[in-house]
Amino acid sequence: MTTEAIAGRVRAGERVGFDEARALYLDAPTHLLGRLADEIRARRHPDRVVTYIIDRNVNYTNVCVARCSFCAFYRPVGSPDGYVLGFDEIFRKIDETIEVGGGQLLLQGGHNPDLPLEWYEDLFRTVKARYPSFRLHALSPPEVVHLARLSRLPVPVVIDRLIGAGLDSLPGGGAEILVDRVRRLLNCYTKATADEWIDVMRHAHRAGLRTTATMMYGSVETPEERLEHLFRLRALQDETHGFTAFIAWSYQPEHTELQGVEATGVDYLRTLATARIVLDNFENLQASWVTQGGKVGQLSLAFGANDMGSVMIEENVVRAAGASYCMDEIEIVANIEDAGFTPQRRNMHYERLGEPIFRQRAIARRFGLDVARADGDTTPAPELANYAPRSRAARQARGAVGPS
């Protein structure tokens, strides 16, 4: 079938199969892919509203045993640069988020063997007791797998316990590319296989949680493997309808073990448009301005995206790999309006919350993203004293074992 014939099927609202998606992705001119994706965006969101959320990406620890080769953020167990945030530091971050109109933390971190499931439960409960309406969008599927292994409990039990403590929704991080050949090459197969990632999401959806889905492309995968990733997401969404949105971002190579070259902006726009065509059961697609910058983020709105993601306030992971874009609410709104759309704040469930906050009250401008901790600050979190250390390094630090 020619790309024009496939385009005709997309325009008629028909579902594309793998070979048709492949033909479009590899052969269709970029303007055609953009036009098709924009038409789908217009059918789904005809009022030309583009949403965004005010929240904060908090990485509660950078200590991680997974050691993914594309990650510039983690520190090995026992590293002098390793940190775990104290509960008080997290409360301060929540207070600052509420001050600028935010209502949610996106809470993710490394796979730290010295943080048991109880630490997460205590944190979530304490947050909910202090801030009852504040939302916790927390723990990507590999973190849930890590907790299941650490606590020797089945994934559904871990999810139920986290929900019982206050978990509201799951971010779709750690998906990278949902193909095990790629995951082995990226050294992220052991943290969670493609099936394990999908399975956590299946259990989360069955337990009533809504989640997002992500894709990190541009490392070692083929175009066909990117498509396989999209088709796996589409199949699970057919089954559970639990995904609220899809977010694609490009691999950021700086300071990583894997190294390499970052994908181009055109590659990003083609990938985003193809995702909009394939993911015909996803309501929302986010623009990834954090990796692409504000202007490509704005262009994303013509390539299928209907959401500008997060105002964010803080970010640590992408910054560690060399990307340092920052937009406060004023700039995000300007980008949306300059592209001819109407901005609306939203929550994680994509319920619209109203006009921009800065048009209702004075908000200090922010020209840089905060970080989890100031460089070199490794003050121990006081709560760690409440949990038995598990790693040799932590036991040594507490004097539980002698130096080796």
Residues at the interface with ligand SF4 (CB under 6 A): 64, 66-68, 71, 73-74, 110-111, 142, 188, 191
Closest approach of ligand SF4 to the CB of residue 56, in Å: 18
Compute the distance between CA of residue 185 and CA of residue 6 in angstroms, rounded to an integer.
33
Q: Which is nearer to ligand SF4, 247 or 357 (CB)?
A: 247
Closest approach of ligand SF4 to the CB of residue 108, in Å: 8
Q: Which is nearer to ligand SF4, 51 or 214 (CB)?
A: 214
Closest approach of ligand SF4 to the CB of residue 139, in Å: 11
Angle CA(10)–CA(12)–CA(14) in degrees, nearest 5? 60
Compute the distance between CA of residue 134 and CA of residue 123 in angstroms, rounded to an integer.
13
Q: Which is nearer to ligand SF4, 186 or 332 (CB)?
A: 186
Three-state SS for 2?
coil
Token pair for 204: 């989360």
Element (H, E) at 27: helix 18-27
Beta-sheet strand order (sheet of 284-286):
56-59, 104-108, 135-138, 169-170, 210-217, 243-250, 284-286, 307-310, 49-53, 342-346, 352-354
Closest approach of ligand SF4 to the CB of residue 399, in Å: 28
Q: Which is nearer to ligand SF4, 35 or 75 (CB)?
A: 75
Closest approach of ligand SF4 to the CB of residue 63, in Å: 9
Q: Which is nearer to ligand SF4, 60 or 131 (CB)?
A: 60
Q: Which is nearer to ligand SF4, 3 or 187 (CB)?
A: 187
Closest approach of ligand SF4 to the CB of residue 183, in Å: 11
Q: Is 13 exposed, middle or buried (0-12, 13-18, 19+ CB in 10 A)?
A: exposed
Closest approach of ligand SF4 to the CB of residue 67, in Å: 5
Q: Is 2 exposed, middle or buried (0-12, 13-18, 19+ CB in 10 A)?
A: exposed
Compute the distance between CA of residue 115 and CA of residue 396 in angstroms, rounded to an integer.
16
Closest approach of ligand SF4 to the CB of residue 57, in Å: 13
Residue 158: phi, psi to the nearest 5? Answer: -60, -45
Closest approach of ligand SF4 to the CB of residue 191, in Å: 5
Token pair for 357: 């906050």
Q: Which is nearer to ligand SF4, 34 or 110 (CB)?
A: 110
Q: Which is nearer to ligand SF4, 102 or 110 (CB)?
A: 110
What are the residue ranges of helices labelled H in 131-257?
141-151, 155-165, 180-185, 194-206, 223-240
Q: Which is nearer to ligand SF4, 192 or 312 (CB)?
A: 192
Q: Which of 168, 346, 348, 104 is nearest to 244 (CA)?
A: 348
CA distances from 14 to 5, 10, 392 (A): 12, 5, 56
Compute the distance between CA of residue 214 and CA of residue 286 in angstroms, rounded to an integer.
10
Q: Which is nearer to ligand SF4, 7 or 290 (CB)?
A: 290
Closest approach of ligand SF4 to the CB of residue 189, in Å: 11
CB–CB of 100/53 below 8 Å?
no
